[in-house]
Amino acid sequence: MNIHEYQAKEIFRRYGVPVADGGVASTPKEAESIARSLTTDVIAVKSQIHAGGRGKAGGIKMVKTPEEAAKATRELIGKVLVTHQTGPLGKQVRKVLIEAGSIPKREFYLSILIDRSLARPSFLASTEGGVDIEAVAAKSPEKILKEPVDPAIGAQPYQARKIAYALGLGGPHLQATVNLILNVYRAFIETDASLIEINPLIVDQRDRVFALDAKMNFDDNALYRHKDIQAMRDLNEEDPREVEASRFGLNYIGLDGTIACMVNGAGLAMATMDIIKFAGGNPANFLDVGGSASQEQIEHAFDILLSDANVKAIFINIFGGILRVDRLAAGVVAAARNLKISVPIVLRLEGTNVEEGRKILKTSGLNFLVGETMKEAADLVVKAVSVGA
């Protein structure tokens, strides 16, 4: 789960990770009153969307007075920002963060995430702050310091010093940097974060070390033990179809093709998208119905697939193990009848009770296309789409 910058900064404050003074506003009036409470020469008005690259897209404005902050807020709220992370449709700004602005003297990069090959949390730090870290990793990997942490004992002060010195933050900055790093580790573990990223971490003109930006992602599997973080979820930032699917235990991701997919198992679902592409088509979605899909779930799945106006055909690829093929076929027939589905449905079924399953489809009187193999079914569905077009 993702949260906004202003929410991540609330969590930072709770853990003693220094951030600029400020608050979130959804109206110019709120923005003005927050700006008035700040003792600063420069005020930053930052659009709150779940995507990076806001500055370049015009989503961050630096102003001098509370009145100007209100004006900037009026301009930003409702605006659709298109950045390299939002996709072509962009994201609408609903809130802005009003902050005491600062002029960074030096900028750094600091993050923590799980290194899967080590199975440990690991800090990443770089003197190249405020830029795209993936570009740094690709161009000059020697500029990125990796510091893995033993989860049995947690981040140690010597590790924080190692990072601080590598960033050139010794001397007067050492203690503040060490505290910041150790507090970031504590926040990471205690909130079950999957990523904390501070880009940039800065030293400002008054020599303070703090997080100018803040990004936190969380492990969805651990949200059950963090009700406060669950409450930070912003459904406006998510695809409504994905939200709807998750209510029925379905894992759906909308894409921009014309062939809707319904598959059991995440790996097979990805492989199905691959084979559609290989056959010359374009998948409209990823959909994993899980290992024990009921007829009700299948109906919900059809509903979600058909809510996408681009869909011209449906490809159902099921390897029935625990989920018996005959039961699935019965569910598909019933759902197709109830929902009066008009687009072609191509099925490829394999596994337990497959013969009975195919018989149910054949005798249903409905127009199903059945592929014997995955390849054949993919070719069938691609053909169905091009004929229909």
Partner 1 sequence: MSILVDANTRLIVQGITGSAGRFHAEQCLQYGTKLVAGVTPDRGGEVVQLDSQKIPVFNTVGEAVRETAANVSCIFVPAPFAADAILEAADAGIELIVAITEGIPVIDMVRVKRALQGTVVKLIGPNCPGVITPGACKIGIMPGYIHKPGPVGVISRSGTLTYEAVWQLSSRGIGQSTCIGIGGDPVKGLDFVDLLEMFETDPQTEAVIVIGEIGGNAEEEAARWIKDNFTKPVAAFIAGATAPKGRRMGHAGAIISGGSGSAADKIKALESCGVAVAKTPAEMGETLLGLMK
**Is 194 near partner 1 (CB under 8 A)?**
yes
Q: What six digits make up the tokens of 138?
A: 């690709």
* Interaction pattern, residues 225-254, with partner 1; x per rule: CB under 8 A: x-------------------------x-x-
**Is 372 near partner 1 (CB under 8 A)?**
no
Catalytic residue among 5, 32, 109, 252: 109
CB of 381 to partner 1, least distance (A): 14
Q: Which of 138, 235, 309, 389 binds partner 1 (CB under 8 A)?
A: 138
Round to whole Å and give the CA distance between 325 and 289.
14
* Residue with smaller CB distance to partner 1, 118 or 339: 118
Catalytic residue among 32, 128, 197, 299: 197
CB of 49 to partner 1, least distance (A): 15
**Is 275 near partner 1 (CB under 8 A)?**
yes
The per-residue b/e assignment along 128-163, b for 16 or more CB within 10 angstroms, e otherwise, is bbbeebeebeeeeeeebbebbbeeeeebeeebbbbb
What φ, ψ does residue 19 adopt, rounded to 5°? -135, 170
**Is 82 near partner 1 (CB under 8 A)?**
no
**Is 84 near partner 1 (CB under 8 A)?**
no
**Is 267 near partner 1 (CB under 8 A)?**
yes
Task: Classify residue 203 as left (phi > 0), alpha (psi -120 to 50) or beta.
Answer: beta
* Residue with smaller CB distance to partner 1, 199 or 264: 264
**Is 374 near partner 1 (CB under 8 A)?**
yes
Q: What six digits make up the tokens of 237?
A: 């930032």
CB of 91 to partner 1, least distance (A): 14
Round to whole Å and give the CA distance between 288 and 265.
6
CB of 269 to partner 1, least distance (A): 6
**Is 147 near partner 1 (CB under 8 A)?**
no
Beta-carbon contacts of 228 under 8 Å, excluding residues fewer than 6 positions away, are none
**Is 90 near partner 1 (CB under 8 A)?**
no
Q: What six digits make up the tokens of 101?
A: 């602005």
Q: What is the DSSP string of 206-261?
A: T--EEESS-EEEE-GGGGGG-HHHHTT--GGGS-HHHHHHHHTT-EEEE-SSSEEE
Stretch of 12-20, 104-112, 208-216, 273-281 contacting partner 1, by CB under 8 A: 273-281
Q: For residue 147, indicate whether it is catalytic.
A: no
Nearest one of 84, 87, 2 to 48, comparing CA atoms? 2
* Residue with smaller CB distance to partner 1, 70 or 136: 136
What φ, ψ does residue 187 adopt, rounded to 5°? -60, -40
* Residue with smaller CB distance to partner 1, 138 or 309: 138
Q: Which of 89, 152, 231, 309 binds partner 1 (CB under 8 A)?
A: 152
* Residue with smaller CB distance to partner 1, 41 or 150: 150
Round to whole Å and give the CA distance between 252 and 121.
29
The per-residue b/e assignment along 181-218, b for 16 or more CB within 10 angstroms, e otherwise, is bbbbbebbeebbbbebbbbbbbbbeeeebbbbbbbbbb
CB of 37 to partner 1, least distance (A): 37
Answer whether the bond into residue 200 is a cis peptide, omega within 30°: yes
* Residue with smaller CB distance to partner 1, 141 or 172: 141
**Is 341 near partner 1 (CB under 8 A)?**
no
Stretch of 24-32, 172-180, 186-194, 327-335 contacting partner 1, by CB under 8 A: 186-194
Q: For residue 109, indicate whether it is catalytic.
A: yes
Where would I find the beta strands (DSSP E) of the chain?
22-25, 43-47, 60-63, 80-81, 91-92, 96-100, 104-115, 120-126, 144-148, 193-204, 209-211, 215-218, 251-254, 259-263, 285-288, 313-320, 345-351, 368-370
**Is 302 near partner 1 (CB under 8 A)?**
no
* Residue with smaller CB distance to partner 1, 28 or 121: 121
What residues line the site for partner 1 (CB under 8 A)?
85, 114, 116-117, 119-121, 134, 137-138, 150-152, 189, 192, 194, 219-222, 224-225, 251, 253, 255, 263-278, 283, 286, 288, 291, 319-322, 350-352, 373-375, 378
Catalogue the active-site residues: 109, 197
